Amino acid sequence: MLEFDAAQQQLLDAAPAPTTQPQACALRAALGRVLAQDVHAEVALPPADNSAMDGYAVRLADLAAGAGLPVQQRCYAGEMPEPLRAGHAIRLFTGSLIPAGADTVVMQEDCDERDGHVQVREAPTLGQHIRRAGEDIAPGTCIAAAGTRLTAAHVALLATQGHAELVVWPRLRVGILSTGDELVQPGHARALHQLYDSNAPMLAALVEGLGAEVGATRHARDDETALGEAILALARDCDIVLTAGGVSVGEKDLVKPVLESLGGRLALWKVRMKPGKPVALGAVRGTPVVCLPGNPVSAFAVFTVLVSPMLRRMQGRTGVRPPVQHGVLRTATPSSDSRENFLRVRAAADEAGRLVLTPHRGQTSGIMSALPWADGLARIPADATRGDGDVVAYYPLASWLS
């Protein structure tokens, strides 16, 4: 069997970089898009010295006598202050520009204002409560690098620079093919010997969670002609095709011979992982095709740890493999297997601040309820036993599926 790490690397190596030209994207529509070029700050942040507090702008030297200072002006955020005259104060509010001549802000809680004069009760320090121009970001700083998938936080930062448009990669188009005579689409009548197709909607949701686009979704019966037509159509219209089912070695596992009949190169692996042993990688007319197991739990695990890095690379992203964390396994049942075992677990911090991983009660590939329950996968090494208190690798779904 192919080792898990080798399988992950082979999929990454087979992932082409974006082949289409970058495109302009409105800032309002940029969430989830992948930057195609670095963005540098053109405006200092903050753009000018401003007040971090509601209070009074003063010259520190004018407070030495301890007398009250006449309030020269009340200046709100968005207004231009007058130059501060010697021996005076200007009333400011959070975000107000610092007047020329002022060197300190005294917050209002340390002052008493009466009859147009302000008395400072607590002596400030020089420069107190002033946000300096450029102290956050200086002009020329790279504020978002090429390959970054944009979050709401990136959108906010880019908006401070006045960008109305960004240069991004086109969305990756993923084709999804579910196979099997036993499958019925949700919303249709189901006989006792049939199952509702959960792979296609699950894979579509996983693809969209990565910020890619589902180019098309198809289902094909276990028939070579139907499979061939579906694969060709998806390969023609999409950047990559994911199939679910029909990739093992049974009599009706037809995906491998169909791909080969279409001239596709195909490597069928038995990956040393559980769940998710049968995985295949190929190409049809230049379009990558990744074949996942038909079992939905297995397909979910394979997509998470093997396929998602490949899709991130095809999107033009950097950091295609999110960090793997580590946590303490908390279980009464030790786990061991001849394959890498990816347990469905839920993580929480204990009193000491350690990450504690609790496995779902059911770890067979038929336990679908473990998927929405879990927030990550705990990796148990092959040919090893890990039990209560052992430290194991943890793949958080929040980062591996985003």
pLDDT in single tens digits along all 402 residues of the chain: 899 999 999 999 999 989 889 999 999 999 999 999 999 999 999 999 999 999 999 999 999 877 899 999 999 999 999 999 999 999 999 999 999 999 999 999 999 999 999 999 988 999 999 999 999 999 999 999 999 999 999 999 999 999 999 999 999 999 999 998 888 888 888 888 888 899 999 999 999 999 999 999 999 988 899 999 999 999 999 999 999 987 766 666 788 888 888 887 777 778 999 999 889 899 998 999 999 999 999 999 999 999 999 999 999 999 999 999 999 999 999 999 999 999 999 999 999 999 999 999 999 999 999 999 999 999 999 999 999 999 999 999 999 999
Q: Is 2 left (phi over 0), alpha (psi -120 to 50) or beta?
A: beta
Taking only the tens place, the pLDDT of each residue in 120-162 is 998 899 999 999 999 999 999 999 999 999 999 999 999 999 9
Q: Are residues 120 and 151 in the same domain?
A: no
364-402 per-position pLDDT tens digit: 999 999 999 999 999 999 999 999 999 999 999 999 999
* Domain identity same for 285 and 229: yes
Q: Which residues pair with 74 in a beta bridge?
A: 91
Instruction: Say yes or no: 302 and 193 in one domain.
Output: yes
Q: pTM for the full model?
A: 0.90
**β-bridge pairing 240-244 and 173-179:** parallel
Q: Are residues 288 and 220 in the same domain?
A: yes
Three-state secondary structure along 271-307? Answer: ECEECCCEEEEEEECCEEEEEECCCHHHHHHHHHHHH
Q: How many structural domains is the chain composed of?
A: 4
Domain boundary among 131, 158, 192: 131
In terms of domains, do 249 and 261 share one?
yes
Q: For the domain that residue 335 is a member of, what is the CATH number?
A: 2.40.340.10
Same-domain check for residues 266 and 380: no
Q: Are the C-beta atoms of 289 and 235 separated by less than 8 Å?
A: yes
Task: Dump pLDDT digits (tens) for 53-66.
Answer: 999 999 999 998 77
319 occurs within a structural domain: no
Boundaries of domain holding 56: 50-131
- Domain membership flag for residue 320: no
Alpha-carbon torsion angle 297, 299, 302, 308, nearest 10: -120
CA-to-CA distance for 95 and 45, rounded, in angstroms?
12
